[in-house]
Amino acid sequence: MNVDVGNALDEVATPGIPRAALDRLDDRVADAHDTIATGMDDGEFGYAALNLPNTVDTDEIRAAVEPFADARTVLTVGIGGSALGAAALCDALGDDTRTEFLDNVDPEGVRDLLDSVDLSETVLHVVSRSGTTAETLANFLVVREAMSDAGVDWTARTFVTTGPDGNLRDLADAHDLPALSVPEGVPGRFSALSTVGLPVAALAGVDIEGVVSGAREERDSLSGSLFDCPAYAYGATAYALDIRGAGVNAVMPYAEGLETFAEWFAQLWAESLGKDGLGQTPVRALGATDQHSQLQLYRAGPRDKMVSLVTLRDRPDVPIPSSDLDGLDYLDGESLGSLLDAEFRATEASLAESGCPSVRVELDALDPESVGGLLYGMEAACVLAGELYGVETFTQPAVEWGKKAARGLLRGDESLPGTPSLRVE
C-alpha cells in the first residue's frame, strides 16, 4: 500500500494541513507508535489485532474448511465484523463460488436469499464470539429450519467460529461441528485477517496465505514516523484534516472488487473513532460511478470532506472496439482500463482544483498481497488515529446500548427514551 497526501496540504486544499503542522504531528505519531508497539508486544486487547499476520494459523483454517471444499454456495450468518471482513476479501479476490452474507434480519431479504440458493449445496458458517448475538442466532435458527425442511442434514453442512463458551460452542460440541476459535483480544471489526474472515475466503478460492503475507509486509512497515509508514500517514492525515473541519471521509475505490472494502472501512472507522464527540463520518462511494453523483457535492458542497481515492497500478483490461460514431474518436485505441484511469486522474484533479482535500491510496494490483496489506494498513491507520484522538478505539458502548435496548423490547420493556411524540400521517 502506498499513500500520497500531497493533495491534503493547505497549499492545495481547504481545509488543508500546513507542512509544518505535519512535522509537529510526527512527534505525536512517534509517541503513539510507542504505545501501539507496547500494546502489540504485550498482546493487549485491541492491539493484539495488529499481531494477526504473525499469529493466525492458515493451516488450521484450511483443515477446518476442507470437508466443505465441494460447496457451490457459502452462506455466512454473522453481523458487522463477523461478516464484512470475509465479504471484502471474497468480493475482491474470490472465484465463482457464491458467497452470501446474512448480516441483517429483514424478513423479506432473508426469505428471498434462502429461496435463491440450493441448500443441499450450501455450506453454513455461523460467526459470533459470544454465541448470543440476537441477529446471528435468530438467522441461524431460520436457516437451520429451512435446511431441515429441505431434507438437508444441517449438521453435515455447518461450521462455526465462536468463543470458548456460549450457545454456539455448546452446539458445536453437541453435534460435532467443525469449530474455529475467535482470536483472543481482537474486536470483531479488526478480525478480517483471522479465523473470522479467512475461512469463507479460503472456500471461495482466495489465496489466504498471500493475504496474510501482504498484511505481514504492512505490519513490518510500521515505524515511528508518518513519513516512513503508509498506514500512519493515512491515519494521521485523516485525523489532522478532521480537526481542521473535514469531518466526512469519503472512501472511493476505483475497482469494483473493492466496493465492499469501503463498507468494511466504514464500520472500522465509525465504530472505532466515534466517541466523546469526536471522529470522522465515513461515506462509501465507487469510482467512476459516483463521479456522476456524489462528486458534485464533494467539489461544490460544504468544505467538510476529505476524499480517499483508492486505485490500482495494474489491472486486467478490455480493449474498446473502434467506432465510427461521432465524437468518440478519443476512445480509438483505448481500453476500459485506460478510461477508468483517466476518470480517476480527472477526479483527483477536479478535487484539487476545487480545493477539496484528497488522499491517494495506491495498490500494486487487486491481488491477495495487496488486499491483505490494504486491510491491515487501514486497521493500523485506525488504531493510530484513535491514539491521536485520545479515544478508546477498541470499545463500542453506543453499539452495546442498542443491543441491550433491543433485547429489552423483545422481553416487553417499552420504557425507552426518545419515543416519538409528534406523528404526521
Distance CA 290, CA 300 (A): 14
Active site residue 33: no
Which residue out of 100, 271, 348, 369 is catalytically annotated? 271
On whether the CB atoms of residues 139 and 176 are closer than 8 A, the answer is no
Give DSSP secondary structure letters for 214-231.
HHHHHHHT--S-TTT-HH
Distance CA 365, CA 93 (A): 11
Q: Which residues, in sequence order, are CB contacts of 369 under 8 Å at separation 6+? A: 210, 211, 213, 214, 217
Give DSSP secondary structure letters for 289-329.
GGGGTHHHHHHHS-S-EEEEEEEES-----BPPP---TT-G
Active site residue 305: no
Angle between helix 208-220 and 368-389 (nearest 10): 40
Q: How many Cα atoms sit within 13 Å of 417 on the Cβ side?
A: 2
Distance CA 290, CA 307 (A): 12
Which residue out of 108, 292, 414, 425 is catalytically annotated? 292
On whether the CB atoms of residues 92 and 201 are closer than 8 A, the answer is no
On whether the CB atoms of residues 362 and 230 are closer than 8 A, the answer is no
Q: Which residues, in sequence order, are CB contacts of 73 under 8 Å at separation 6+? A: 97, 98, 99, 100, 117, 118, 121, 122, 123
Cα separation values, 303 from 306, 365, 372, Å: 9, 32, 33
Cα separation values, 167 from 22, 160, 195, 243, 410, Å: 49, 11, 18, 44, 19
On whether the CB atoms of residues 320 and 339 are closer than 8 A, the answer is yes
Phi/psi of residue 232, nearest 5 degrees:
-70, -35
Side by side, which strands form the sheet with 305-312? 2-4, 358-363, 305-312, 248-253, 281-284
Distance CA 261, CA 91 (A): 8
Q: Which residues, in sequence order, are CB contacts of 44 under 8 Å at separation 6+? A: 38, 185
Which residue out of 256, 334, 343, 403 is catalytically annotated? 403
Active site residue 292: yes
On whether the CB atoms of residues 385 and 238 are closer than 8 A, the answer is yes
Q: How many Cα atoms sit within 13 Å of 409 on the Cβ side?
A: 10
Active site residues: 271, 292, 403
